[in-house]
């Protein structure tokens, strides 16, 4: 695969890029010639090895819930990309599920720390690199859980609704500096997280309630992320774009 000369200097950071939707996003950008940092709690080296032109990309172990770990990521990114970051995709996320009266304080805190605070910390650490250049794209993975109630998802729904609120404020504050900030909200996607949350009867019921009649595929989510990260999407900011086969429309 040849590298598009116009894009070969674009730097993309994908948190949670070692698996699932994040890996699909990393693949999407790598296929188009961008350089990708796969930032994940897990070792992202095997994921990087599977990307086109693996020598152009980099795996960084990071816990987005740990501010010093994110600061270290920002330092690597500044060095690796010569201070240039064009796209940040916040995909790192967890789903710790229990009925509201049974959910532990630890499950609540960890969910909010990773899904919400982690996304904000990454935006705050890497956003200034975009603001200084007057150009950038941030895409935050929210979920259909940001707009509807899902059984056993109280912490997850709260965290994802808050990600959308955060997205709107960053979009408003950063629009004049050429940086767009959007959220993407898929229905169930066939990944490790999706399988764990929706195995068995709840998954069958959810699938039956989706008008399109199936779950989303990672490549469908990555294509939407890719659009929001493109030059064509310069006028789209502060939005939460749902990709759910019509689930929240009916």
Is residue 51 a contact residue for ligand NAD (CB under 6 A)?
no
Is residue 37 a contact residue for ligand NAD (CB under 6 A)?
no
Q: Contacting ligand NAD (CB under 6 A), which of 117, 121, 143, 240?
A: 143
Of the candidates 229, 127, 121, 118, which has an alpha carbon nearest to the alpha carbon of residue 184?
A: 229
> For ligand NAD, which is the closer residue by CB, 143 or 167?
143
Is residue 138 a contact residue for ligand NAD (CB under 6 A)?
no
Is residue 42 a contact residue for ligand NAD (CB under 6 A)?
yes
Give the whole-angstrom CA distance, residue 19 versus residue 76: 21
Q: Contacting ligand NAD (CB under 6 A), which of 10, 11, 14, 22?
A: 22
Give the whole-angstrom CA distance, residue 247 versus residue 213: 10
Question: CB of 35 within 8 A of CB of 59?
Answer: no
150-209 binders of ligand NAD (CB under 6 A)? 186, 188-189, 191-194
Query: 136: how many CB neighbours lie within 10 A of its CB?
Result: 25
Q: How far is the CB of 225 from ligand NAD (least distance, A)?
A: 10
Query: 245: how many CB neighbours lie within 10 A of its CB?
Result: 21
Give the whole-angstrom CA distance, residue 34 versus residue 26: 9
Give the whole-angstrom CA distance, residue 30 versus residue 24: 10
Is residue 62 a contact residue for ligand NAD (CB under 6 A)?
yes
71-110 binders of ligand NAD (CB under 6 A)? 91-94
Of the candidates 24, 12, 82, which has an alpha carbon nearest to the alpha carbon of residue 224?
A: 24
Is residue 34 a contact residue for ligand NAD (CB under 6 A)?
no
227 a catalytic residue: no
Q: Where do contacts with ligand NAD occur on this chain (CB under 6 A)?
A: 15-16, 18-22, 40-42, 62-65, 91-94, 114, 118, 141, 143, 186, 188-189, 191-194
């Amino acid at each position: 695969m040849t590298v598009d000369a116009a894009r070969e200097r674009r730097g993309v950071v994908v948190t949670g890029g070692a698996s699932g939707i994040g890996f699909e996003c990393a693949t999407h950008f790598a296929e188009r010639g961008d350089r990708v940092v796969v930032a994940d709690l897990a070792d992202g080296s095997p994921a990087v090895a599977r990307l086109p032109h693996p020598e152009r990309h980099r795996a960084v172990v990071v816990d987005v819930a740990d501010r010093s770990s994110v600061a270290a990521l920002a330092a690597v990114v500044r060095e690796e990309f010569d201070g240039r970051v064009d796209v940040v995709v916040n995909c790192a996320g967890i789903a710790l599920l229990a009925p509201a009266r049974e959910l532990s304080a630890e499950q609540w805190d960890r969910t909010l720390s990773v899904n919400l605070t982690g996304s904000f910390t990454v935006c705050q650490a890497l956003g200034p690199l975009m603001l200084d250049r007057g150009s950038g794209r941030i895409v935050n993975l929210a979920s259909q859980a940001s707009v509807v109630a899902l059984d056993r998802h109280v912490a997850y729904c709260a965290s994802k609704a808050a990600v959308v609120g955060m997205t709107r404020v960053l979009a408003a504050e950063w629009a004049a500096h050429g940086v767009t900030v959007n959220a993407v909200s898929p229905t169930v996607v066939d990944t490790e997280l999706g399988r764990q949350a929706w195995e068995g009867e709840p998954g069958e019921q959810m699938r039956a309630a989706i008008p399109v009649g199936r779950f989303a595929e990672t490549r469908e989510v990555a294509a939407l992320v890719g659009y929001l990260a493109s030059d064509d999407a310069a006028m789209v900011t502060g939005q939460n774009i749902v990709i759910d086969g019509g689930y929240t429309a009916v």
